[in-house]
Amino acid sequence: GDLRSVLITSVLNLEQLEVDLFRCAGRHHWVPATQRLFGGQIVGQALVAAAHAVSRDEQVHSLHCYFVRTGDPKVPVLYEVERTRTGKSFSVRSVKAIQHGQPIFTCQASFQLSQGSPVQHQFTMPTVPPPEELLTQEELIQKFLQNPNVAEGYRKRLTKIQAQDVPIDIKPVNPPDIFSSEPQEAKQLFWVRARGYIGETDMKVHCCVAAYISDYAFLGTALLPHRQYRIKFMVSLDHSMWFHAPFRADHWMLYECESPWAGGCRGLVQGRLWRRDGVLAVTCAQEGVIRVEQTPNQSKL
């Protein structure tokens, strides 16, 4: 069968130091080019820590996080859990991520015992080609690199992206023309899944993996209408998730992302993760800092 996902064996594998205190045990699997800790990793690990502090039957239904300091990929992260409330139907857990003795991230997660209700509805999933008909991000980059006219500086940047060891499979539905600086609508669709096998396990595990996946390429949606600028600095300020229905994070899901607003050096993005059968599984939202250089991009060709 498939190899077990590195997200389970390493990235989201926490070492328990004492009750409600954890340390990330694995190496920081994928570090973005910015040399900061990947936000999705911190969100995923914080949810792992919070999930340890509730009963098996309680499932996470929402999560609200703030990134308060830059994460340092060179040192471990400590996760401190506080049992804020344990009720009959709902429990709230607060998590603080600490490095160098200071909080780098805070989050609250709410868990619920399963309850049925006649009040149910959801949006309709967009109609898109299935993942089997689309190319992966790596294959797309490979295709672009075969163009002999690609400028050397840009070729280096693409090769660097290609060499990143991201533990996620991604298939963009309408990949943007990489050579164009034309503004685009602030929307993107891609199929995503964890690389490797996770299997039928506690739903909380799949939620932790989805937290990791949901932060990848999310904020970039806000830049699609502004492709004439070069990014100087881009970092997540917060991250929120609502979990609606069970799903498998190692199966293809459609990530529908849009940015309703940007201004004041900030951008807002919202996303929906759809199961292949049309069920809305997760809703996400995030605000980030976006600073660009006023000078137009140098030519890519």
- Residue from 5, 41, 110, 286 carrying the catalytic annotation: 286
Whether 236 is a known active-site residue: answer yes
Contact 216, 168 (CB under 8 A): yes
- In this structure, which long-range contacts are made by residues 143-148, counting pairs with CB atoms below 8 Å and at least 24 apart in sequence? 144/178, 144/179
- Residue from 41, 99, 214, 236 carrying the catalytic annotation: 236
- Residue from 91, 188, 214, 215 carrying the catalytic annotation: 215
Whether 137 is a known active-site residue: answer no
Distance CA 285, CA 259 (A): 9
Report the length, in residues, of the chain. Answer: 301
Distance CA 243, CA 89 (A): 16
Distance CA 182, CA 184 (A): 6
Distance CA 247, CA 255 (A): 13
Whether 215 is a known active-site residue: answer yes
Distance CA 81, CA 22 (A): 8
Tokens describing residue 280: 């809305």
Burial class (CB in 10 A: 0-12, 13-18, 19+), 50: buried
Q: Concatenated DSSP letters for 31-76?
A: --TT-S--HHHHHHHHHHHHHTTS-TTEEEEEEEEEE-S---TTS-
Contact 214, 40 (CB under 8 A): yes
CB atoms within 10 A of CB 238: 17
Contact 219, 40 (CB under 8 A): no
Tokens describing residue 187: 């929307």
Residues carrying an active site annotation: 215, 236, 286
